[in-house]
Amino acid sequence: MSDASDHRSHHGAGRAWWHLSRTGLFFGAAYFLTSMAPSLLPRTWYYQGLISGLCAVVGYALGVFVAWVVRQVSRLIDLRVAVSGEARHWLLVAAPVFGAVAVLGLTVANVRAQARTAAFVQLAPLDPLDWALALVLAALVAVLFLAVARGLRGATHQLAQAAGHVLPKTIATVIAVLVVALTTAWVTDSVLFHRGMQAFAGVAAQVNTAPTGRAAPTSPLRSGGPGSLESWDSLGYQGQMFVTSAPTPAQITAATDRGAIEPIRVYAGRTADRTIADVADAVVAELKRTNAFHRRVLAVFTTTGTGWVDDWSAQSVEYLSNGDSAIAAMQYSYLPSAMSMMTDRDTPREAGKALFDKVYAVWRTLPADDRPQLVVGGESLGSYGGQAAFASADDMLARAQGGVWVGTPSFTDIWQSLTARRNEGSPEIVPVVDAGLHIRFAANGDQLTHDSYGRDYGAWDFPRFVYAQHASDPVVWWNPALLGAEPDWLREPRGPDVNPDVTWIPFVTFWQLTTDMAVGHDPPDGYGHRYGPELVPAWGSVLGGSPTDDYSKLVAGIEETVNRVA
């Protein structure tokens, strides 16, 4: 793998700034090509460009390191490889031709494979212009990172030379490397990352206070309405959207053909002067004010990072209970879920536990025969945070009376424990746990009644919990462990909505799924991170119905309401 250009790169003398290691180029090209391999969802051109540029740089760095190791080993054992002039000539001619053919062939194969991925989730593939833009962006990203790396190497060399005037060469070099490395780490963490996050949080806070264009509720059964302990402005953008999106009794009646009452929705926003516990206390105060503890169903929803609650889940509870319900939610952050998943996993857990524990503390004081059905729910980061209220699956079964967890991240503790003890032979994408006695994983409505073997489930005892998760949902399968370990869901047969060409690639798959999360809502319902109508039978089962009931009229009614308030 070593070559003359790599040898000169070791010394650096007389080398032009545009010099590139041949070994580095080989590895960089390999990683660049693998970055275009298909993943769960089709990528936009800009995400493809970012991934390809990043992977190319990492591959190049790896190649340079491998070449350096080979040189050092060769020197230690005095290994010399002699190549005749004629053979060297043919190698110099054949290698570029072979490389060009391989690059072209693999590129075409990957483009076609990504088109197949798009077809699996009912989306259009990238067109030729998109791919051209992706290649340009990848080149810019690679050049930028390479320029930064060479600048750092130059700074290290200059510092080592300066220190070499007063220190032995080896010690001077070690000190120079440490100083540059520590300085780079400090700048990256304290300046780029933290200041970037502060700026991002500032933008998110502005979005949180942006006008929704909706008037404050006129019903006392909504936070921010008449008599509410929470002001309209304090609810924030997502809170205002939540409390004004509930269906009316007339809308519920039209879909159920049964008399309905007005559902309760309470919410508290996260303001600068409030702790997580304070916000949870405010929600409980709103529940008491609205007499929510006397409704038939009381749902505790943990929100996503921005404070969002999926209206398909919320309205499913309200329609199925004929409005005799109350839903409690709170805001704990302004950041989008994808950002929070990568930077702050403690706050969602703290919020999910605080809200449920405080609601449960009041609920358990009520007479056993006069309590509402206490259920829980949350989507993506909300599911992760909501499950933190429970020490284990058994604790969840003991304290909650049902729930629907949607698109649960695979690093969630209870999800991990349930999946780890799944019935032998059942796949990770739809595990079977205890024959579905209380907990069922479902990628679609049919899997509420049939396990992953295609067999009918037996009895479904109460309390009932549903984990709704698509095989093509990157939020579920994103996990830092993907950097260096192949997960079960890629060793096992793929889900019906996943391209069979998808394979695990060290380092690359993690970044592919990272960008997949950003487009998780692009597919239609039933794919990616879009669940929608399939949550109706899930909640219907949890609240006491049967998965085989006809929910078509309710689905149509909820869809009309959701679209109307969107």
Residue 194's contacts (CB-CB under 8 Å, 6 or more residues apart) are none
Q: Which of 64-78, 199-213, 313-327 is predicted most confidently?
A: 313-327
Nearest Cα to 255, choosing from 558, 562, 563, 566? Answer: 558
Tokens read off for 346: 């403690």
Q: Return the pLDDT at 91.
A: 59
Beta-bridge partner residues of 439? 465
Name residue, tokens 């994983």: 441
The distance from CA 507 to its chain's CA centroid, rounded to whole angstroms, is 16
Q: What is the spatial distance between Cα 24 and Cα 17, in angstroms, rounded to a whole number? A: 15
Name residue, tokens 């580095």: 24
- Mean pLDDT value of segment 189-206: 67
Residue 64's contacts (CB-CB under 8 Å, 6 or more residues apart) are 6, 9, 21, 23, 24
Residues 467/415, Cβ–Cβ less than 8 Å? yes
For residue 408, what are the CA distances in angstroms to 222, 328, 337?
A: 28, 20, 12
- Mean pLDDT value of segment 49-65: 91
* pLDDT of residue 86 exceeding 80: no
Q: What share of the chain is helix, strand, coil (3-state, %, to 5)?
A: 55, 5, 35
Q: Return the pLDDT at 467.
A: 98
Nearest Cα to 292, choosing from 334, 267, 328? Answer: 328
Residues 310/558, Cβ–Cβ less than 8 Å? no
Q: Return the pLDDT at 533.
A: 95
Tokens read off for 408: 């649960």
Name the pairing type of β-strands 439-442 and 403-406. Answer: unpaired
Residue 518's contacts (CB-CB under 8 Å, 6 or more residues apart) are 47, 338
Tokens read off for 527: 């794919």
Nearest Cα to 207, choosing from 339, 48, 12? Answer: 339
DSSP string, 395-464: HHHHH-S-EEEES--TT-HHHHHHHHTPPTT--TTS---GGGSSEEEESSGGGGTB-TTSPBP---PSS-
Q: What is the helix (H) or strand (E) element at residue 314, kind and residue range?
A: helix 311-320
* pLDDT of residue 452 exceeding 80: no
Name residue, tokens 């579920």: 476
The answer, yes or no, to whether the previous bond of 537 is cis (omega within 30 of 0) is no
Question: In which band, very low, low, confident or very high, does the pLDDT at 395 lie, cut at 50, 70 and 90?
Answer: very high
Residue 442's contacts (CB-CB under 8 Å, 6 or more residues apart) are 430, 448, 466, 467, 468, 469, 534, 538
Residue 174's contacts (CB-CB under 8 Å, 6 or more residues apart) are none
* pLDDT of residue 87 exceeding 80: no
* pLDDT of residue 323 exceeding 60: yes
Nearest Cα to 383, choosing from 358, 420, 409, 359? Answer: 409
- pTM for this model (two decimals): 0.87
DSSP 375: E
% of the chain residues with pLDDT over 70: 88
- For 478-534, what is each residue's pLDDT tens digit? 999 999 999 999 999 989 999 999 999 988 899 899 999 989 999 999 999 999 999
- For 152-187, what is each residue's pLDDT tens digit? 888 888 888 888 888 888 888 888 888 888 888 877
